[in-house]
Amino acid sequence: MDVHFVNHIESKKKDIQFARVDSDVIDRLIQKEERLESTLPKSEQEDMRDVFTSLTPADAGYFNVSYESMGEHAQPMVVTQSEFMRRMKDMSAISGGRGMDFYGIMPDSFNLVVNTDHHLVKKLIAEKENDLGEQLKGINDNLRPVSAELTALDDKIKDKKEEEIEQSQKDKRAELEKKEEEIYKSKKELLETYAATNQLARQLVDLALLSNNMLKGEDLNKFIKRSVEMIK
């Protein structure tokens, strides 16, 4: 339907709202009062976010990974695209650059929604912990005191203007920020290297992309070949 016509109807009928079927997971297309949040710990969410985003196609746009409790019989992963952003980009294309250029030049963004109730997602998380648990623990043990010291320093100088902060404190802050960034980088590289060799992780992400018609060319050929190998 024409995006301007849809907006017109919604403005006239306050109790009506349109949404494309791939703009969100099925259970949230029709808003409900109760919504089950994922029980996956935040630390695990952050680790798996690096695993999943490294497997998404860089030329397709930006992928935000989120976690939902969708039930064990729902899909393990779903790719959705914001209804608001898609409408804005559609209106930018129709308007021919009359005040909507900002949305037109923005890269596409998608949500990769991970169903933490699905047994394959649970299996993948368990495999990651079994294979990388000790290495990740070592990295986190190194990160924890650095982050704590940086937080304490930020709290100490938070009420000061930049010119009031002592040079020694500025130097210390820069040193801690650099060290924290390096530790995060090493952790990200470890998880991305692991993801590149994990067939289950790649297969789950590719299935979500395929269901959204986003798996093409060589990536599609690799998916088909991998699927045959995994069912031998």
User: According to the 3-state scheme, what is the secondary structure of 72-138?
Assistant: CCCCCEEEECCHHHHHHHHHHHHHCCCCCHHHHHCCCEEEEEEECCCHHHHHHHHHHHHHHHHHHHH
With a cut of 70, say whether residue 213 has pLDDT above it: yes
CA distance 124 to 227: 17
Burial of 197 (0-12, 13-18, 19+ CB in 10 A): exposed
At residue 93, the pLDDT reads 58
Q: What domains, with CATH codes, occur in the chain?
A: 1-139+178-232 (1.20.120.790)
Per-residue pLDDT tens for 144-192?
A: 999 999 999 999 999 999 999 999 999 999 999 999 999 999 999 999 9
Query: What single-letter amino acid sits at 108?
Result: D
CA distance 60 to 109: 8
Encoded tokens for 99: 């005040």
More confident residue, 108 or 203: 203
At residue 59, the pLDDT reads 85
Does the global pTM surpass 0.85?
A: no
At residue 23, the pLDDT reads 45
Per-residue pLDDT tens for 53-64?
A: 999 998 888 899
At residue 231, the pLDDT reads 81
* Secondary structure letter of residue 162 according to DSSP: G
Per-residue pLDDT tens for 20-59?
A: 555 455 555 555 555 566 789 999 999 999 999 999 998 8
Residue 170's Cβ-side half-sphere holds a number of Cα atoms within 13 Å equal to: 8
Mean pLDDT computed over every residue of the chain: 83
Task: Break the chain down into helix, strand, coil percent, rounded to 5.
Answer: 60, 10, 30
